[in-house]
Structures are given as C-alpha cells and as structure tokens.
Structure 1
C-alpha cells in the first residue's frame, strides 16, 4: 500500500471549544501515539484527510515539518448525524513492524445456480507488515455448491500475512436459495403465527353482501 502524505500542525489548544474552532478552519484534531512515546496532538487538513481515510487501513506519512511519522488510523470519530470527521486516533508504526488490522473480504465470481451466498464475516483480522497492508482479500466462489463453506484457513493470504483469528472462523456459507413459492409459504406461515389477517378484496366482499335475486 502506497503512503498517503498529510501535512500536520502540532496543537496546544484542547477541549470542545478548541476542537470546534479547528473544524471551522476545515481541519481535523488528531493524536499520534505508540512506541512508548508521549501522545502528539496535531491538526490535519480536513479535505485531504477525508479522502485519505476512504482507503481502509491507509498508511499515512504525517509531515510535522522537522518531524515525520508513519501511522495508520485506529479510531475515526464521526458526527452521528452529519457524518463529518470529528477526531482521529493514529497509531505510529515503523517500516517492517507487524500490526493487527481488519481487512475487507471481497467475493469474486458466482456460485452454482440455486445457491444462496451468505457472508458471515465481511472482514478478517490479520497480522501484517505495517507498510504492506492489503486493501482486501479476494475469495473466489465460482462453481461452489450448496453446503460449501469458506473458513479463515481457506483464505489466500499475501506473503508475510498471517491470521489473527481462529482457523475455523466462518467467512462464507453457501446454502439452498429458496424459490418464490417457498418464500411466499414462509411469509404466510409467519403471518399466521403472528395472527395477521388480510382484508378480503372489495369485489369479493361486495359480492358476498349482495342478496341473491329471485325470479317470478
């Protein structure tokens, strides 16, 4: 993974008021920590940081002028309503150092017809070199049949990476895809169990209400 360079400024103001002023200037408060050093409080450029963090496990080259650090994002706090970044925790890493990260699972191909593919885990935790974090792990499913499963131990990991989870962690499960009739039957059964009754169509209800005509 290529490094993404971000120019940072060290900050000395803290608290909610200071954070709001930083964000008004289109900057983001952040903290660098790790390797036994004291936390370094910085501000990052808002737009550039937002773009950089669209890449999962981005490797950031933080330029502090006379000081530079490699770091990966460990926690990104966002506004729950508007979604903008409020604060970022960055873990300082060294070239060749191994870190534990969650890497996305990408399904490639299509299983056999009539097979329902269930993703049990969308990511897998790996121990990898900080400067060689994969963007994703591809899992081919072409031709897989009902009853097939993909476990963590089945994943093709990049060189130097190892699992940070149990080998038998279930990633993908392939089951029988229900037919439309089966779906309708299951829905009707669930509605019946819940006591849900549907109104009769108006035409049927009206016909039932009309008295039979008599002749003669």
Structure 2
C-alpha cells in the first residue's frame, strides 16, 4: 500500500459549532493519538482525504504534513459519517512508525466460480491481520474456482502475503460451498410454508367459534 501525503492544520477550536465551521470550510475534524503522546486535534482536507480512502482503502497510511511541526505517519482508525447525508464528520488517526506492526481488518474478495449446481455462502467479509504499517494489503483475494459442494474454507486456509499474520480465529469459517437447492426442494418449501399458514388460520377460526 502506497503512502498518501496530506497537508493538515492544527485545530484550536472545539465543540459542535467549531466542527460545523471546519466542515463548511471543506475540512474534516480529526484527532491523532498513539505511542503515549497527547492527542493532536487536526483539520484534514476533505476532498483529498476522501480520494485517499477511495483509492487506497480504509487502511490507508497517511503522511501528515502538520504546519509548524515534523511530518508524521498515521493509520486511519475510525471514520464517522453522517447517518443521512453520508459525508465524513470526524476521523480518528493512529500514530504509527516505519517498521511498526499494526492490527487491521482487511476485506476478502472472492474470485472464480464454484462448480455448477452449488451455492456459495461467504461467512466472513474481512480478516483481522497483523502487518507492517506500510505494507498493509488492500484486500485478500480468495479463489473458489471449481470448488465442489462440501468445500469449506477456514481462516487458516486463506493464503496471506509474506510478513502478514492472521489474527482472526483459525477455525473461523470464511466460505461454505453447498449443493444448490433443486426446483422440487424450493417448491416443497413453499408448499410447507403454505400449509403452515392454512393450519394457523384454521386454528384461529376454531378459537373464534369457541368464543
């Protein structure tokens, strides 16, 4: 994963009113913390930050050029978005150092097609991994090409890049390939559900007559 450089500004005003003014100015309120240092309140350029996340994923490592101080490396830890308008309201950043290992959640991307007549269920959408801060994989690709019914892929069986270690439980089920239901199975399920509705209605009618 490549580094992304952002020019940021220190924040000296706090509270909801100050945050709104920051966002109106095209910036995002953020806090940088970690390594036992005092939290730093910053303003991130909204457009550039959104582009960095879009192009590099939520685990993007940012080189922050802070006015009046040395550049610092940061990992995007938490992004808070507005529940309706969907714009970014606040960002938590974790201070990291070159060579330091961090624990992050990385998305799983399924490739290929399982054998005909099968149904694929993806039980996990991401894996928790430990990786060097500047070498976090953007995604983990998992091939199911030709997988037969009965195939179960657990976290320990997923191939990881060199230097990356699994933190998710090894027995966690990632993908389950089963036999796809036949038309007769589906019709049988519909008939069974219908019979249940009729039976329930019948009981209600009986209760009404008794009343």
Aligned residue for 1:33?
33
- Which one of the candidate residues 123, 141, 147 is aligned to 2:144? 141
SS at structure 2 position matched to 1:187: helix
Normalising by structure 2, what TM-score? 0.89
CA distance in 2, matches of 1:103, 1:191: 43
Alignment of 1:181-196 (within 5 A): 181-195=184-198
How far off is 1:186 after superposition? 1.5
Alignment of 1:120-131 (within 5 A): 120-131=123-134
CA distance in 2, matches of 1:61, 1:122: 28
Between Structure 1 and Structure 2, whose CA radius of gyration is higher? 1
Structure 1 gaps of 5+ residues are 198-216
Q: Deviations over 1:133-153 (max 9, x none)?
A: 001111111111111111111
Aligned residue for 1:18?
18
Structure 2 gaps of 5+ residues are 201-211
Q: Deviations over 1:62-85 (max 9, x none)?
A: 110332111111111000001000
CA distance in 1, matches of 2:103, 2:3: 18
Q: Deviations over 1:76-135 (max 9, x none)?
A: 100000100000000011111011101111111111001111000000000111110001
Distance 1:188-1:7 versus aligned 2 partners, 3 A rule = farther
SS at structure 1 position matched to 2:44: strand
Query: What RMSD over aligned residues (CA atoms) do the two structures have, in Å?
Result: 1.5
Q: Which runs of 4+ in 1 moved over 6 A?
A: none
- Which one of the candidate residues 176, 179, 182 is aligned to 2:179? 176
SS at structure 2 position matched to 1:8: strand
CA distance in 2, matches of 1:180, 1:48: 51
Normalising by structure 1, what TM-score? 0.87
CA distance in 1, matches of 2:39, 2:194: 57
CA distance in 2, matches of 1:195, 1:52: 56
CA distance in 1, matches of 2:129, 2:198: 48
